[in-house]
Amino acid sequence: MSNMHRLLTATELADALGVSLSTVRRMTRDGQIPVVRLRGAVRYDLEAVVREREAEAGTASRHPHRM
């Protein structure tokens, strides 16, 4: 079995995550999710995106904002 993951378009990623396309575009622009660039096209590895979001959520919960 191959270790290659299927790469998703922004629309497919938005559907998979249950967020809007504009949210995926914003997260991409802000560097919040990893991307794969292929010949100028941007694609997403769903497993890598989920891992990144889980890591960020874990960091946020361990370091709450102080007021």
Number of domain units in the chain: 1
Instruction: Output the domain CATH number for residue 56.
Output: 1.10.1660.10
- At 31 the pLDDT is 94
Distance CA 41, CA 39 (A): 6
In a domain, 11, yes or no: yes
In a domain, 38, yes or no: yes
**45 near 2, Cβ under 8 Å?**
no
Distance CA 10, CA 25 (A): 7
In a domain, 2, yes or no: no
Domain with 19 in it: 7-62
- At 56 the pLDDT is 82
Is the per-residue pLDDT at 2 higher than 90?
no
- At 1 the pLDDT is 41
In a domain, 67, yes or no: no
In a domain, 1, yes or no: no
- At 53 the pLDDT is 87
- At 59 the pLDDT is 67
Chain mean pLDDT for the chain: 86
In a domain, 18, yes or no: yes
Q: 36-38 and 41-45 as β-strands: parallel, antiparallel, unpaired?
A: antiparallel
The secondary structure of residue 3, as a DSSP letter, is: -
The pTM for the full model equals 0.75
In a domain, 17, yes or no: yes
